[in-house]
Structure 1
């Protein structure tokens, strides 16, 4: 089997079982490409990895001042959460703050991302509602953003609504692109979702990680808003994903030095704050990493992100070792017998 250009190859005993292709971009806080694999400019649907950029638009619309949203609420706006009780309860608390009803949400209920929550729901014969959506925090944020702009909340999810027009402008600005260089589709949760070159996603996360160290000296409000978002996500990683989930584990392991967010169909964004570790890469500031697995395998994107952190020696060995279960997951059959392994044949090109 041809493995040329593969990022990850999985084996069953000595036989190749799957070949996964991927694209990788690593940039500095100015957007300069440092390392790449595959096509770092591939047009990519960021999906939920774009949530911090969308939440920035809600912040800048004035919704936090008007409705007294706090940093935990902000973390949930950036989340693809596990529908744990704390996630659903916070969603409903946020609805109260904007004086909206669950029926105003234009996301739908679905099976949870957490196996533990799913088992609990089955035992209780529970039917999920809109507040249980893994994107519920983002949707409530959009309701608040719409009201802060003086717009009606009806149709807040539609591309021509004032809040979505505002989101589109902010996302393009954060990517450093003209508005027409960002394309938009409909996400699984029923909100618009952006597509832009993969290295621009890395740039978004580099800016996010740079902001906590730059906000005090900044002359504009945006770095302060990004710094607040970084602190919210890293302070409340359990709200960004949930127990046992990669995003939560990553941010806990790196103790505030790394922010990370999954996008559906195996897109991922990582921001790493400036440190001696990032200086070794030839930059004085923060670093952003973006990954897209071509076949949409989420388990593989976790493996690749973990491998990149290992190869670039970002963080300490002890921090990186906490990702081992996702980096090189054991391949076990139903009897617990290990039957295979994964290899990482990709090489990062230095620019």
Structure 2
């Protein structure tokens, strides 16, 4: 199925230097509930979006459903790293190595390469030590280690596990489409920065995925009879929110978001400007019009990650999700200080995100 990518959209944020506009940033937003109903939007909520690492929970689901975690003794922290875009801190690299050992694999089996870390502090340390990163240092090493285990769990070779035609990736593709409520041919696939297939699908389906994660945790916490898929999604939710420091790292937005909301919200960034959040059901999600949990997905057209985090924080304020105290913990991302080399504030960020509420739910 052929789908074209939209490359235009309304302005969500503007950066001023003095009184002059320096940059404008276009964006799309989709807000859905646990039933997949579109509650609010900005721009095109059906914008076909490369979810990149925001799709990791769905890819981890495919591995989890092979039985690999039980077979190789992976724990919840390992599952969190499978969903991570980590900062290559020592704790991340050490856990990735332990996962490889549990899966009877080695760093040489990884088909992701080393790269500069996402953490400035780690980068400085590496430069001082003249450290050369290998595959285990990739921010996606947890996902790759999990896939090496998943391949073995279905009786497939680990060689070529990253290729689109490998039996594990065929399984991953079906699982990703299925959990997003799409037929297999409604998802486009490309090659990610870490060398694995990465999906593209409508933005509201990314929101749907994260609403499902939060809804699954709601259902399991009520001790209701849940399906194996629901239990698996809830397990992923708990792993990410219990170990947010493994999902990203020190000072990173994903980690601080999940720490601030203390288990009530899961969030994950995707490279080049995509983000998704799942919010557990509450009086606040009900006021938004949700039946149960809430899912929010964002795409910034120019891929600016700093602007992405600012817009996500702005959306939480607009939707009145969480407390003011919780949202204030994200203030450095929401309204970042834009300073020059002398510490003088030179620029300011303004928002123009106006959510259009679905008329179907009696709001405008």
TM-score (norm 2): 0.95
1:71 and 2:76 are equivalent in the alignment:
yes
CA contact (8 A) 2:219 2:226 kept: no
Structure 2 residues not aligned, in runs of 5+: 1-8, 359-364
Matched, 1:336 2:334: no
Matched residue, 1:296: 303
Q: Is the 8 A contact 1:175 1:200 kept in 2?
A: yes
Structure 2 CA distance for aligned equivalents of residues 229 and 346 of structure 1? 31
Secondary structure of 1:165's match? helix
Q: Distance in 2 between matches of 1:218 and 1:327?
A: 40
SS at match of 2:199: strand
- The alpha-carbon deviation at position 219 of structure 1 amounts to 4.0
Provide the rounded CA distance (Å) in 1 between the counterparts of 2:157 and 2:290.
45
Tell whether 2:212 aligns with 1:201: no
* Residues 218 and 224, structure 1, Cα contact 8 Å, conserved in 2: no
Which of 180, 196, 199 is the aligned partner of 1:191?
196
Residue 330 of structure 2: aligned partner:
323
Whether the 8 Å contact between 1:278 and 1:314 is mirrored in structure 2 is: yes
Alpha-carbon shift at residue 284 of structure 1 (Å)? 3.3
TM-score (ref. length: structure 1): 0.98
Match of 1:226 in 2: 233
Query: Residue 11 of structure 2 contacts residue 352 of structure 2 at CA under 8 Å; is this kept in 1?
Result: yes
1:240 corresponds to which residue?
A: 247
- Deviation digits for residues 21-59 of structure 1, max 9, x if unmatched? 000000001110001000000110000000000000000
Deviates more, 1:217-226 or 1:321-330: 217-226
The match for 1:31 is 36
Q: 1:178 aligns with which of 172, 178, 183?
A: 183
Match of 1:143 in 2: 148
The offset of 1:346, in angstroms, is: 2.1
Aligned twin of 1:163? 168
Stretch deviating more after TM superposition (336-345 or 189-198): 336-345
8 Å CA contact 1:29, 1:285 repeated in 2: yes
Is structure 2 residue 14 aligned with structure 1 residue 9? yes
The alpha carbon displacement at 1:283 in A equals 1.9
Q: Is 2:336 the counterpart of 1:310?
A: no
2:6 matched to which residue of 1?
Answer: none
Among 261, 264, 269, the residue aligned to 2:268: 261
Q: Is the 8 A contact 2:32 2:290 kept in 1?
A: no
- 2:132 matched to 1:124? no
Aligned-pair distance for 1:340? 1.6
| Cα distance in 1 between the residues matched to 2:38 and 2:189 | 24
Distance in 1 of aligned mates of 2:230 and 2:129: 45
Q: Distance in 1 between matches of 2:109 and 2:81?
A: 18
Gaps of 5+ in 1: none
Q: Is the 8 A contact 1:78 1:233 kept in 2?
A: yes
Superposed CA offset, 1:78-99 (max 9, x none): 0000000000000000001010
Tell me the equivalent position of 1:106.
Answer: 111
- Superimposed CA distance per residue, residues 154-210 of structure 1 (whole angstroms, 9 cap, x where no aligned partner): 000000001000100100011100000001000000000000000000000000011
Deviations 1:92-132 (A, max 9, x none): 00001010011000000000000000000000000000000
